[in-house]
Amino acid sequence: MRRAYRTWRRRRILDKHPLDAGLWQRLSSRLGFVSRLTDQEQTRLRELCVLFLYEKQINPAGDFILDEEMKLGIAIQACILILNLGLDSYDDWVEVIVYRDEFMPREEYINEHGLMQTDHHAYAGQAWLRGPVILSWSNVETAWRHDGANVVIHEFAHKLDMRNGGADGYPSLHAGMNRTQWTLTFTRAYEDLRWRVRRGEPMELDDYACESPAEFFAVVSEVFFECPEVLLEHYPEVYRQLAMFYRQDPVGREAAGQWKPA
């Protein structure tokens, strides 16, 4: 009964809150990961964005002003991760906060010596456990570059990672996925990247991925959607695990035989 009501309610939302066709076309055409989708998948992504914008609050910080185009741009990037997972994957939080530029939350924490310190770092984005996603618009708007860096995808990957607790690079896997294989694949790739970065080898993956397994998962998720061929070339097993996790194959819709779900 609850599922039937939810389906009915969401259909009413879609009927009552249609997206402007011109706005959708203008924004979606600028994002490479949308162009890879079939017409049916693009329709599903569009519907997800309508529901996302209805059910989530996207609020500016301070005197920053967000218009509908900016909000939709964020929604498209957030919803590509859950295209085949569904909006319920984001059901444990409600708000996105957007700063004009990078922000300094000035959080206090206990360091390794047991002393209280204040974090003075500037951030492009943060994802809080059961709390908001926080973004810097100056970083969000660089998504149009198609360079493999995408702060929205990065932070929303953290959100998916957090569904089974704190972000650690080991999200809840679907039935049929192998936890041991995931752990082995990601551990090997993470250690390999750290080794290559220490050696000073030029890498097409952001070395921020070396910070922790959680950041590795978020960074390779960015690359999976933005430049999937790069990930498939350098870490094909990571690509295959992410293809199963996100239930998408951004490289091989024309050559789907490159991988087969387990």
Q: 3-state class of 85 per DSSP?
A: coil
Q: What is the dihedral of CA 231, 234, 235, 240, to 10 degrees?
A: 50
Place of tokens 């300094």: 104
Q: Which helix (H) or strand (E) segment is 137 a member of?
A: helix 137-140
**CA-based angle 135:141:145, to the nearest 5?**
130
87-91, 108-112, 141-145, 163-167: least confident range: 108-112
The token duo for 213 is 């397994």
DSSP 8-state code for residue 86? -
Q: Which residue has the higher pLDDT, 256 or 12?
A: 12
* Residue 234 confidence class, pLDDT cut points 50, 70, 90: very high
> Strands 125-127, 133-136: parallel, antiparallel or unpaired by DSSP?
antiparallel
Domains and CATH numbers, the chain: 168-262 (3.40.390.10)
Section 213-242 average pLDDT: 96
pLDDT digits (tens, 9 = 90+) for 40-53: 999 999 999 999 99
* Residue 14 confidence class, pLDDT cut points 50, 70, 90: confident
Q: Which residue has the higher pLDDT, 115 or 186?
A: 186
Please give the pLDDT value at position 9: 81
Give Cβ neighbours of residue 258 (< 8 Å, ≥ 6 apart): 232, 249, 251, 252
Query: What is each CA distance from 208 to 71, 169, 194, 201, in whole angstroms?
Result: 27, 14, 10, 14
The Cα–Cα gap between 209 and 215 comes to 5
Please give the pLDDT value at position 103: 72
Please give the pLDDT value at position 261: 40
* 173 residue type, one letter: L
The Cα–Cα gap between 159 and 154 comes to 9
pLDDT averaged over every residue in the chain: 88
The token duo for 17 is 């809150």
| Residue among 250, 206, 247 at smallest CA distance from 89 | 247
> Strands 116-118, 125-127: parallel, antiparallel or unpaired by DSSP?
unpaired
The Cα–Cα gap between 185 and 179 comes to 10
Residues in the chain: 262
Section 109-127 average pLDDT: 63
Question: Residue 253: pLDDT above 90?
Answer: no
Please give the pLDDT value at position 258: 40
The token duo for 131 is 């709390």
Question: Residue 158: pLDDT above 80?
Answer: yes
The Cα–Cα gap between 186 and 213 comes to 8
Please give the pLDDT value at position 204: 86
Share of the chain above pLDDT 90, in %: 68
pLDDT digits (tens, 9 = 90+) for 191-206: 999 999 999 888 889 9
Q: At what angle do helices 2-16 and 39-55 cross, to 10 degrees?
A: 100
Give me the residues paired with residue 117 across strands.
109
Q: Which residue has the higher pLDDT, 17 or 246?
A: 246
Question: Residue 109: pLDDT above 50?
Answer: no
Q: Which helix (H) or strand (E) segment is 219 a member of?
A: helix 213-226
Please give the pLDDT value at position 129: 93
SS3 content of the chain, % helix, strand, coil (to 5): 55, 10, 35
